[in-house]
Amino acid sequence: MLKVLQHPLITHKLTQMRKKETKTKDFRQNLDEIAGLMAYEITRDLPMKDVEIETPITSFTTQEMEKDIVLVPILRAGLGMVNGISNLIPTVKIAHIGLYRDEETLEPHTYFEKYPKKVSDAIVMIVDPMLATGGSAIAAIDMVKKQGAKNIRLVCLVGAPEGVHAVEEKHPDVDIYLAALDEKLNEHGYIVPGLGDAGDRIFGTQ
Ligand code: URA
């Protein structure tokens, strides 16, 4: 399932990120804020469990989140979405997957992976701002599935139709969340209109 999370705040902040004159500090801050807004929507259907608590007044049956949430940023651009989500869900455990794209073949290569325990029972959110060819996302989903993950959500800021279709074809069980579905990929693998190289713009390395 693909869900494009449309909200005036998300659209406004994404517009600031797309502008070429937007500086690193504002780019990062808008990404943080959008990631938090997206997390709010994406967690709407989280499974809950009944708990018996004591308020200062009385005993009370209410609910808490039932499952652990594991956030999986794809290095390095995915790191830009971690703060916004972990501010909202401070109990998240954070895995890391390091992938780089071969500039010629655009194929992903793994250079790092580290997971918390009990990924298999958790809600796993893979985060990466740009869903371009889908190669990195597919590789990351393959990797978390090898760890036993069953409930996987892919959370990206901007997606290209090519990347969405590739992920849907390989992993139809994974829900994809975007802030915007853009037009296409260009011949260099960049999303059009996009926002340029997300990693470079987050870390000021352009
Ligand atoms: N990665 C990026 O950072 N930007 C794109 O447009 C595509 C892939």
Least confident of 108-112, 135-139, 148-152, 200-204: 108-112
Quick count: other Cβ atoms within 10 Å of Cβ 2? 15
190 lines ligand 1 (CB under 6 A): yes
CATH number (3.40.50.10800, 3.30.565.10, 3.90.420.10, 3.40.50.2020) of 2-47+66-200 reads 3.40.50.2020
Question: What pLDDT does residue 100 have?
Answer: 83
Question: What pLDDT does residue 204 have?
Answer: 97
Question: What pLDDT does residue 24 have?
Answer: 98
Question: What pLDDT does residue 155 have?
Answer: 98
| Residue 101 annotated to the active site | yes
Note the residue count of the chain: 206
pLDDT in tens, 101-147: 777 876 788 999 999 998 999 999 999 999 999 999 999 999 999 99
Question: What pLDDT does residue 108 have?
Answer: 81
Answer whether residue 90 shows pLDDT above 80. Answer: yes
Q: Is 137 annotated for ligand binding?
A: no
130 lines ligand 1 (CB under 6 A): yes
| Residue 105 annotated to the active site | yes
Q: Three-state SS string across 181-205, please?
A: ECCEECCCCCEECCCCCHHHHHHCC
| Residue 197 annotated to the active site | yes
Question: What pLDDT does residue 132 have?
Answer: 96
Q: ipTM for the complex?
A: 0.96
Domain boundaries, the chain: 2-47+66-200
194 lines ligand 1 (CB under 6 A): yes
Query: Percent of the chain having pLDDT more than 70?
Result: 100
End-to-end CA distance of the chain: 34
Angle between helices 135-146 and 161-170 (to 10 degrees): 30
pLDDT in tens, 29-47: 999 999 999 999 999 999 9
**Strands, E assignment, the chain:** 2-4, 48-54, 59-65, 69-75, 93-94, 96-101, 108-114, 123-127, 130-131, 151-155, 158-159, 175-178, 180-181, 184-185, 191-192
- Of 54 and 102, the structure prediction assigns the larger pLDDT to 54
Q: Is 131 annotated for ligand binding?
A: yes
> Mean pLDDT of all residues in the chain?
96
Question: What pLDDT does residue 104 have?
Answer: 80
Average the pLDDT over 183-196 and give the result.
Answer: 96
